[in-house]
Amino acid sequence: MNNIYIIGVGLIGGSLALDMKSNNAQATLYGIDSNTTHLDEAIELKIIDEKASYDDLKDADLVVLAIPVDKAIAELPKVLDAISDTTLVIDVGSTKLPICNAVEHHEKRRNFLATHPIAGTEFSGPSAAIRDLFQKKTNIICEVEKTTFKLQEKALQLFSDLGMRIRYMNPEAHDKHIAYVSHLSHISSFMLGKTVIEKEKNERDIFDMAGSGFESTVRLAKSSPAMWTPIFKQNKTNVVETLDEYINNLKQFKALMEADDFEEIYNEMENTNHIKDILKGIV
């Protein structure tokens, strides 16, 4: 795949572009972005080779849709309208059911593969793009059977070249599970940051006393609200369900504190230490 078009040259789109160019010196990377400053920056950083528009997509071998999930729903049908019959289109959004539903009956649905690379940082924009971001990361693929087999093969080779592990999941299951392991984590981080900012009006106290534990826990609060608000909106039902469970656990912990039941608090934390074994198996 030599003609590669990246729609949205931020962290994920830009990182994909860097690695695909590294793996295929013959490839030309084209960028499409509503933010022209991002395009100029991406060219300066050698993330993409040239700017492009939807009119150019007829020549694409691969199109990567790497924009906020609300915009992806609107733009994906337009992308499919513009491509040739041999073009592969993938998206990288954190919600899958809405995007799959948006093109369920499109005549070129077979050209589209719904994916979610579980990779990223708290930073955004072209300058956040890094090489090897996807090495040993999991990529969730949804509704693979709806993509033509030849394009499936191309996609799987691409992901293999990027060093990714593949898991198949239906969109409903993806959105339910990702609410727990990703969306809830971001909400927790945002709300921890909010709580500390509101409590410690003197910002110097925050910075002086913040240790590595606070820094790592609140890291995700630096993530882009423009990206995450649409994710929470699209996955509202699942996110609310996970929040209910999380809030119940917090209330239970608070009740144990109030009851001076530190033996049970110890047991709760010891039982939760099992997360080390679970995470060790997937890293």
Question: Could you state, in order of their start, the residue ranges of all structural domains in the chain?
Answer: 3-169, 173-280
* Confidence (pLDDT) at 89: 98
List pLDDT tens digits, range 224-277: 999 999 999 999 999 999 999 999 999 999 999 999 999 999 999 999 998 887
Spatial contact of 63 and 7, defined as CB atoms under 8 Å apart:
yes
Top-level class of domain 3-169: alpha beta
List pLDDT tens digits, range 152-199: 999 999 999 999 999 999 999 999 999 999 999 999 999 999 988 887
Banded pLDDT at 200 (limits 50, 70, 90): confident
207 in helix, strand or coil?
Answer: helix
Element (H, E) at 113: strand 112-117
Q: Is the pLDDT of residue 202 over 70?
A: no
- Topology of domain 173-280, CATH: 6-phosphogluconate dehydrogenase C-terminal fold (1.10.3660)
The residues near 27 (Cβ < 8 Å, ≥ 6 apart) are: 1, 2, 3, 4, 20, 21
Task: Count Cβ atoms within 10 A of the Cβ of residue 207 and give its class: 0-12 exposed, 13-18 middle, 19 or more buried.
Answer: exposed
- pTM for the whole structure: 0.89
Residues in the chain: 283
Spatial contact of 189 and 213, defined as CB atoms under 8 Å apart:
no
Spatial contact of 183 and 243, defined as CB atoms under 8 Å apart:
no
List pLDDT tens digits, range 62-106: 999 999 999 999 999 999 999 999 999 999 999 999 999 999 999
- What phi, psi does 63 have (nearest 5°)? -125, 125
- Mean pLDDT, to the nearest integer, of 18-39? 96
Q: Where are the alpha helices (DSSP H) in the chain?
A: 11-23, 36-44, 69-82, 97-102, 149-161, 171-178, 184-199, 203-209, 212-218, 225-234, 236-258, 262-272, 275-280
The residues near 41 (Cβ < 8 Å, ≥ 6 apart) are: 125, 126, 127
Q: What's the CA gap between 175 and 91, in Å, rounded?
A: 15
